[in-house]
Structure 1
Amino acid sequence: MKLAFFVNEIAVEHPEMATTRLAKAAAVGAHEVWYVGAGDVEFDTSQQLLARARRAEVIEGDTLETFLARIKERDPERLVMDSLDALFLRNEEATEMQERPWAGPLGTVFGQMLAARGVTVVNDPVTLSRATSKLYLEEFPQSVRPRSLVTRDAGAIRRFIAEVGKSVVKPIYGGKGRNVFVVADENETNLAQIIEAVFEDGYAIAQEFVNGGEEGDARIFLLDGKLIEIDGAYAAFRRVPDGNDPRANISKGGRMKPLEIGAREKDIVDTMGPKLAADGLFFVGIDVVGDKVLEINADSPGGIQSIEWLYETDICPAIIEALRERASS
Structure 2
Amino acid sequence: MKIAFLMDHLRSIDPVWETTSHLMYECNQRGHTVFFLEPHDLYIRDNGVVARMHNITVQKDLSIKAYWDALIDCLVQDELIFETVIELDVIFLRKDPPINYQVMEFLGPVCDRVFVMNRPMGQIKGNSKVYTLNFAHIIPQTHISRDPKRLRRIIDNFGGDMIIKPLQGHGGEGVIKVSNRDPENLNSLINYYIRANRPYPQRQPIMVQEYLEDVKKDGDVRILLLNGDILGAMKRKSVSEDFRTNVHAGAEVLFHEITPAQKSICDIIKPRLMEDGLYFVGIDVIGDKLLEINCVSPGGIPRINQLTGQKIETRVIDFIEHKIFK
| TM-score, length of structure 1 as denominator length | 0.89
Which letter maps to 1:107? V
Residue pair 1:168, 1:183 contacting (<8 A) in 2 also: yes
Counterpart selection for 2:316 from 307, 316, 319 = 319
State whether residues 58 and 70 of structure 2, in contact with CA within 8 Å, keep that contact through their aligned partners in structure 1.
no
Q: Which amino acid in structure 2 is aligned with residue 40 of structure 1?
A: D
- The residue type equivalent to 1:147 in the other structure is Q
AA at the equivalent of 2:262: E
SS of the aligned residue for 1:140 comes to: helix
Deviation at 1:186, TM superposition (A): 6.7
Offset of 1:285 from its aligned partner? Answer: 0.6
- Alignment match, 1:122: 117
Q: Which residue of 2 aligns with 1:224?
A: 227
% same residue: 29
Asked if structure 1 preserves the Cα contact closer than 8 Å seen for 2:238 and 2:245, the reply is: yes
The answer to whether the aligner puts 1:206 opposite 2:208 as a matched pair is yes
Q: Which runs of 5+ in 1 are unaligned?
A: 95-102, 229-234
What aligned pairs does 1:46-125 form with structure 2 within 5 A after superposition?
46-74=46-74, 75=78, 76-94=80-98, 104-116=100-112, 118-125=113-120
Instruction: Show CA shifts across 1:80-121 (max 9, x none).
Output: 212111111111233xxxxxxxx83233223313315x1111
How far did 1:202 drift? 3.5
1:61–1:216: structure 2 CA closer, same or farther, 3 Å change rule?
same
Inter-CA distance 197–315: structure 2 relative to 1 (3 Å threshold):
farther
C-alpha change, 1:49 and 1:71, in structure 2 (3 Å) is farther
In 2: Cα distance, 1:304 partner to 1:196 partner:
38
Counterpart in the other structure of 1:18: 19
* Alignment-derived partner of residue 9 in structure 1: 9
What CA distance in whole angstroms lies between the structure 1 residues aligned with 2:325 and 2:183?
A: 55
Post-superposition shift, 1:187?
4.8
**Structure 1 stretch displaced more, 63-72 or 261-270:** 63-72
| Aligned partner (choices 152, 159, 163) of residue 157 of structure 2 | 163
Measure how far apart 1:238 and its partner are.
0.5
For the 8 Å contact 1:128–1:299, the answer to whether it is kept is yes
C-alpha distance 72-107 of structure 1, shift in aligned 2 (>3 A): farther
Distance 2:272 2:259 in 1: 21
- The answer to whether the 8 Å contact 2:234/2:253 transfers is yes
Higher helix share: 2
One-letter amino acid of the counterpart of residue 226, structure 1? D
Q: Are 1:10 and 1:37, in contact at CA under 8 Å, matched by a contact in 2?
A: no
1:279-315 alpha-carbon deviations (Å, 9 max, x no partner): 2110001000121111111100011111111111111
- Contact conserved, 1:3 with 1:86, CA < 8 A, in 2? yes
Determine the structure 2 residue equivalent to 1:328.
Answer: 325
Q: 1:278 to 1:26 in 2, by over 3 A?
A: same
1:184 aligns with 2:153: no
Corresponding pairs, count:
312
| Residues in 1 aligned to 2:158 and 2:324: alpha-carbon distance in whole angstroms | 46
User: Cα–Cα, structure 1 residues 106 and 11, in superposed 2: closer, same or farther, change >3 Å?
Assistant: farther
The reply on whether 1:261 has 2:258 as its aligned counterpart is yes
Structure 2 CA distance, aligned partners of 1:238 and 1:296?
Answer: 16
RMSD: 1.9
The answer to whether the Cα contact below 8 Å between 1:6 and 1:87 also exists between their aligned partners in 2 is yes
Instruction: Indicate the residue corresponding to 2:298 in structure 1.
Output: 301
Q: Deviation at 1:23?
A: 0.8
Shift of 1:177: 1.6
Helix, strand or coil for the counterpart of 2:277? coil
CA distance in 2, matches of 1:326, 1:198: 43
Q: Which runs of 5+ in 2 are unaligned?
A: 196-202
CA contact under 8 A between 1:9 and 1:39: conserved in structure 2? Answer: no
